[in-house]
Amino acid sequence: MPNIKELRQAVSDLKAEGRQKLSAYNALAAKAGRTEAEEAELKKLNADIDALEAKVSEAQAAVEAEEQRLDRERSFAPLPGANPGAQQPSPAGSYGSTEPDPARTNGFADLADFALAVRAATPGGGNVAVVDPRLLGPSASDPANVMRASGSDEGFQVPPAYRDSIWDMVFALDDIPSLVDSEPTSAREVKMLADESTPWGAGGIQVRWRSEGKKMEESKAPPPAPRSVPLEPLYAFVLADEDLLEDAPRLANRLTTKAALAITWKMGDTVIYGDGVQKPLGWMNSPAKITVPKKVGQAAKTVTVDNVLDMYTRLLVQPNDTPFWMANRDIVPQLVTLRIGDNLMWTPPVAGLKEAPGGFLLGMPIRWSEHAETLGTEGDLQLVSPKGYYLAKRASGIRMDTSIHLYFDYGIQAFRWTFRVGGQPYLSKPVQPAKGDTSKSHFVTLQTRG
C-alpha cells in the first residue's frame, strides 16, 4: 500500500500533467482558423483533461483517506512516559512503523510524535526526563543516515524520512524552484560552463554542406569560460510553544507544509532577486537580463501594447522550455484594455473571466505572483524562460534538528532547518539573434515607469 508521501507525489504529478495539457488546450483554443488536425487535437486534449480531472479527484481522495487514518492513529498514541502502565516503545535499535522503511522514521508516526518525545526527554522544572528509546537511535554500527541523539543543546536530529519529506515538498510546489533547471550535488561549489555561442553564430560548432571530393573543414568549439556556483547555507529557525506542542495535527502541519511554503518562497524570491553575495544570483540582478525601455512620454504606472510587443521580441526560449509571463495582479487593469486592432492582447481562460486569473498574453501563459513588483516598477511584468536559470541543491537535502534545552523555562521547543543551494542564469550576457541586431535573453523586463 502506498504511503502518504507517495500518494501526495502522485497528486502532484497528475496536477503537473494537467497543467501542461490545459496550457496546450488553451493555446490551441485561442487560435483562429484552426485546421481539421488542430480541431481533432483540441478534442483529444479536452478528453485527456477530463480523464486527468477524474484521476486527480481519485488521488486526492486517497490522500485524504490516508491522512484521516494517520490522524486517528495519532489521536490514540500515548505520550512517552505519560502512563507508566502503557506499552513502552520498542527497545533502542528496534523499530515499529507503518512506513516501508522504518529505519528512516525510527518508529515515529510523524514529526509531531517525534517532537513530543523530545519534549518528554528534557529534564527541568522538577520534571523527570523520560527518554523514548526511539530517540537514542541504533548502535554505532548502523548506517550513518539513521537518526542519532546527542542530548546536548544541539538537540536531536530529525529522522531522515520526515526531513526529506519537507525537501521533496519544496520542489513539488508549483513555484519558481520547481520551474528552473535544478540538479543535486554533493559538493559545496560547482563549476558552471558559460557558453554564449548559438547554432547560428560564427563561433562554436559549425555545420556545413559537403561538396563532393572536397576536404571537410573542421570547426572547434571555443572552450567555455568556467563560472563558480557556490552553494550557500539557508536556514529557518522556528519556536513552538506549549499549546502548539500539545496539538499534534497542527504541529505536524506547521513543521511540514508551512515550513515547505516558507522555504519555497525564500528560495524563489532569491532566484529572482538575489544579489549573488552569499546567496544565489537572481535573474533580476544578472547581466544576462534585458530591460526593455519605456516609451517616450509614457505615463507613469502604465503598460502599453508597445511595451508587451517589445518584450516579446527580446525573449530567447531555452530548448524544451515553457516560457511564461510573471506578473503582479496590480497590472490587470492595464492588460484588459490592451488591443491590437479589434483583438485583445490578453486572452482570458477559455471558460471566460469567471475562471480568471491566468489566461495568455500573446499566446504565452500568465502566472500571477507575489514575487512580481508592483505596477510601474521594473519587475511588475517579466517574460521568463525558466530553464535558462541553473539551480544547484545539496543532494543530502535539509538537515533538521530540534531542541528544548535552551527554552525549557518558557515551555518552548526550537526547530531548525539548514540546507545549501546555489544558482545563477546560464547566460552571462544577452545573445545575438540569427537575423537582425536586437539581442535576446531568457529573462526580459520592462523599465520602471514611475
- Grid coordinates belonging to 406: 535552551
For residue 291, is it within any domain? yes
| 285 and 181 within one domain | yes
Domain identity same for 174 and 285: yes
| 280 preceded by a cis bond (ω within 30 of 0) | no
**Does 162 share its domain with 31?**
no
Instruction: Flag whether 117 is in a domain.
Output: no
* 3-state SS string for 373-404: CCCCCCCCEEEECHHHEEEEEECCCCEEEEEC
For residue 114, the SS3 value is helix
Answer whether residue 88 is part of any domain. Answer: no
Residue by residue, pLDDT tens for the chain (450 residues) are 666 767 777 887 888 888 888 878 888 887 878 888 888 888 998 899 889 988 988 888 887 787 777 666 655 655 444 444 444 433 333 333 444 455 677 777 777 777 777 767 665 544 556 677 777 655 433 333 333 334 334 456 667 676 666 666 677 777 888 899 888 887 788 877 665 666 666 555 667 676 666 776 666 655 556 678 888 888 777 677 667 666 666 776 767 777 788 888 999 999 999 999 999 999 999 999 999 999 999 999 999 999 999 999 999 998 888 899 999 999 999 998 899 888 888 887 655 554 545 788 988 899 999 999 999 999 999 999 999 999 998 776 666 666 655 454 555 667 777 788 999 998 889 988 888 889 999 999 999 998
184 found inside a domain:
yes
Same domain, 166 and 71: no
Last residue in a domain, options 16, 43, 75: 75
Burial class (CB in 10 A: 0-12, 13-18, 19+), 435: exposed
Total structural domains within the chain: 2
**Residues 43 and 183 both lie in one domain:** no
DSSP string covering 286-333: STT-EEEPPPTTPPTT---HHHHHHHHHTB-PPTT---EEEE-GGGHH
Query: Does 37 reside within a domain?
Result: yes
Cα distance between residue 258 and residue 252, in whole Å: 9
Does residue 210 lie within any of the structural domains? no
Asked whether residue 430 is domain-assigned, the answer is yes
Cα separation, 255 vs 115, whole angstroms? 10
Q: What is the dihedral of CA 98, 100, 104, 108, to 10 degrees?
A: 0
Domain that holds residue 65: 4-75
Do residues 138 and 146 make contact, with C-beta atoms less than 8 angstroms apart?
Answer: yes
53 and 187 both lie in a single domain:
no
d(CA 246, CA 181): 41
Does residue 110 lie within any of the structural domains? no
CA distance to 71, 86, 308, 349, 443, per residue, from 315 (Å): 49, 66, 11, 23, 7
* Judgement on whether residues 178 and 59 belong to the same structural domain of the protein: no
C-alpha cell read off for 332: 490587470
Is residue 164 domain-shared with residue 284, that is, in the same domain?
yes
Last residue of a domain, one of 33, 58, 75: 75
Q: How far apart are CA 411 and CA 285, in angstroms?
A: 43
Pick from 75, 107, 138: which residue ends a domain? Answer: 75
